[in-house]
């Protein structure tokens, strides 16, 4: 029976106390007969898993290529249906994306543990991108769009389910597999595009994410920082540049923007695990900005005081408390406007943080034990600074335990140098399958 209270832990992953919680040496325990069978089954099915990755990678599924995302979804639907899952396509037209795949296995045991497994179908590579196909580079490396982020992770989910089904080891666990179609470019509103994740998490006891995390097989994401976009709009009084700084004209929009950004840095940069980045700035007498293209232009002259400026940025925090505090500090900075200037700061709805909790650390410890029992290394908490936001953050606050970064490891994600480390494929399939098998032996009430 699981009884984990989801309370924040006041420590950071890099501290010795945090690491102690999950790296205390545990004696290697022998695999039971079913776990030995799982290892053999994963090995036998490895060629099929490699084919599955190649087939998925060769379908372009950039987030806005709806047909491609649907095609990858139909491939996953076929694979999961063959295993025996009930699979449905969740249309995404209401949030301007292709949609999601939801596959369900329901145990007849009313006390069976319920696990939500999360992946995503889409990639960052557009339909007309010249990085389109799977390429085997060596015995242990392969390249391709989305191979690690995260078509390899989807394959690990499906391969683990295949192994457990083949061995009749899913009787005491209920599973929902959710493969979203908009992780790389979220549909809006988030209340609709992420509804399937939230609903699945409310149903579940445990959430497992199969992103590649920080691409280190010896770490797991027990915490993830959230993502919030922000827009800073600033206005000043236009006039001839010779009049700048005087009481009638003031400082102009660009000086006020510089003051605000520098104050953000000075007051918040020492906050642990908090980052805030102004990624785009335009300013001048007049400005234009295209939100869809994330591009803009400005008109101005060196002898004219700037009237308008705009900054687009992001804010990443490890907890809702930290996020709320940072937002308040940023808004307070805006109140001290330079003479004849005004500013507004608009925060967008974004990804919530996946806070470090006792439940998450307990699940990571179980996963680490599986790894060590298989003869692999211990798995320690990843530094959340080394990975971005992910879909599991929408699930984490609704479950007793959550863990991410269980996918296929690699390098160069989101670039045309994306390469997968194929030596991690069988290892992470084994670990996922045995973790779920061990969890299935514990009832939940």
Domain identity same for 365 and 307: no
Q: Where is average pLDDT lowest: 16-25, 125-134, 139-148?
A: 16-25
- The answer on pLDDT for 177 being more than 50 is yes
Domain identity same for 248 and 274: yes
CA distances (Å), origin 314, targets 129, 231, 282: 26, 9, 16
Q: Where is average pLDDT lowest: 51-55, 121-125, 386-390?
A: 386-390
Element of type H or E holding 277: strand 275-284
Q: Quick one: pLDDT at residue 25?
A: 53
Q: Quick one: pLDDT at residue 26?
A: 67
For 359-388, b/e burial (b = at least 16 CB within 10 A) is bbbbbbbbbbbbbbbbebebbbbbbbeebb
**318 found inside a domain:** yes
Is the overall model pTM greater than 0.85, yes or no?
A: yes
Q: How many helices (H) and strands (E) does the chain have?
A: 11, 18
Q: Quick one: pLDDT at residue 28?
A: 87
Domain identity same for 168 and 221: yes
Q: What is the CATH number of the domain that holds 120?
A: 3.40.630.10
pLDDT (average), residues 421-428 = 98
**6 found inside a domain:** no
Q: Quick one: pLDDT at residue 293?
A: 82
Domain identity same for 137 and 259: no
- The answer on pLDDT for 7 being more than 90 is no
**4 found inside a domain:** no
For residue range 97-115, list pLDDT tens digits in order: 999 999 999 999 999 999 9
Q: Quick one: pLDDT at residue 17?
A: 43
- The answer on pLDDT for 224 being more than 50 is yes
Domain identity same for 69 and 218: yes
Helical axes 358-373 vs 423-440, angle rounded to 10°: 120
**277 found inside a domain:** yes
Domain identity same for 260 and 386: no
pLDDT (average), residues 426-441 = 98
Domain identity same for 25 and 173: yes
For residue range 87-97, list pLDDT tens digits in order: 999 999 999 99
**172 found inside a domain:** yes
Domain end marker among 300, 323, 347: 347
Residues 6 or more apart whose Cβ sits within 8 Å of residue 94: 192
Domain identity same for 284 and 431: no
For 124-146, b/e burial (b = at least 16 CB within 10 A) is bbeeeeebeebeeeeeebbbbbb
Domain identity same for 25 and 47: yes
- By the 8 A CB rule, do 139 and 409 touch? no
Structural domain of residue 77, as residue ranges?
16-225+353-440
Domain identity same for 276 and 364: no
Q: What is the mean pLDDT of the chain?
A: 93
Sheet holding 99-105, edge to edge: 86-91, 99-105, 173-180, 113-120, 206-209, 401-403
- The answer on pLDDT for 170 being more than 90 is yes
Q: What is the DSSP letter of 150?
A: I
Q: Quick one: pLDDT at residue 440?
A: 97
For residue range 320-362, list pLDDT tens digits in order: 999 999 999 999 999 999 999 999 999 999 999 999 999 999 9
**10 found inside a domain:** no
Q: What is the CATH number of the domain that holds 319?
A: 3.30.70.360
For residue range 274-327, list pLDDT tens digits in order: 999 999 999 999 999 998 788 999 999 999 999 999 999 999 999 999 999 999
Residue % of the chain over a pLDDT of 70: 93
Question: Into how many domains does the chain fold?
Answer: 2
Domain identity same for 204 and 243: no
Element of type H or E holding 193: helix 190-193
Domain identity same for 85 and 218: yes
Q: Quick one: pLDDT at residue 8?
A: 37
Domain end marker among 281, 314, 347: 347
């Amino acid at each position: 029976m699981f009884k984990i209270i989801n309370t924040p832990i006041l420590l950071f992953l890099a501290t010795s106390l945090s690491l102690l919680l999950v790296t205390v040496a545990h004696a290697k325990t022998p695999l039971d007969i079913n776990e030995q069978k799982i290892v053999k089954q994963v090995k036998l099915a490895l060629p099929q898993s490699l084919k599955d990755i190649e087939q998925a990678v060769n379908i372009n599924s950039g987030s806005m290529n709806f047909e491609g995302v649907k095609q990858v979804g139909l491939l996953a639907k076929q694979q999961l249906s063959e295993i025996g899952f009930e699979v449905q396509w969740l249309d995404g037209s209401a949030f301007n994306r292709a949609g999601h795949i939801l596959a369900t296995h329901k145990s007849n045991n009313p006390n069976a543990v319920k696990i939500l497994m999360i992946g995503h179908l889409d990639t960052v590579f557009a339909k007309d991108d010249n990085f389109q196909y799977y390429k085997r580079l060596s015995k242990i490396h392969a390249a391709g769009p989305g191979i690690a982020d995260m078509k390899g992770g989807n394959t690990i989910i499906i391969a683990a389910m295949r192994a457990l089904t083949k061995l009749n080891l899913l009787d005491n666990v209920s599973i929902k597999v959710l493969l979203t179609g908009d992780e790389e470019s979220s549909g809006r509103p988030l209340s609709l595009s992420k509804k399937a994740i939230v609903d699945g998490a409310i149903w579940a006891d445990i959430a497992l994410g199969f992103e590649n995390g920080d691409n280190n097989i010896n770490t797991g994401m027990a915490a993830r920082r959230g993502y919030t976009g922000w827009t800073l709009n600033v206005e000043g009084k236009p006039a001839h540049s010779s009049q700048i700084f005087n009481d009638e004209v003031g400082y102009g929009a660009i000086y006020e923007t510089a003051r605000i950004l520098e104050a953000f840095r000075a007051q918040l940069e020492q906050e642990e695990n908090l980052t805030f980045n102004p990624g785009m700035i335009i300013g001048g007498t007049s400005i234009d900005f295209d939100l869809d293209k994330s591009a803009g232009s400005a008109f101005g002259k060196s002898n004219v005081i700037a009237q308008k400026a705009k900054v687009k940025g992001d804010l990443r925090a490890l907890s809702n408390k930290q996020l709320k505090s940072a937002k308040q500090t940023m808004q307070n900075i805006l109140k001290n406007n330079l003479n004849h200037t005004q500013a507004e700061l608009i925060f967008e709805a974004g990804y919530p943080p996946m806070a470090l909790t006792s439940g998450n650390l307990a699940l990571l410890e179980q996963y680490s034990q599986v790894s060590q029992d298989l003869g692999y290394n211990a798995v320690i908490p990843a530094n959340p600074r080394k990975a971005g936001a992910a879909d599991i953050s929408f699930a984490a606050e609704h479950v007793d335990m959550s863990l991410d970064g269980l996918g296929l490891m690699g390098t160069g994600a989101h670039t045309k140098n994306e390469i997968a480390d194929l030596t991690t494929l069988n290892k992470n399939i084994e670990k996922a399958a045995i973790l779920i098998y061990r969890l299935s032996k514990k009832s939940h009430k």
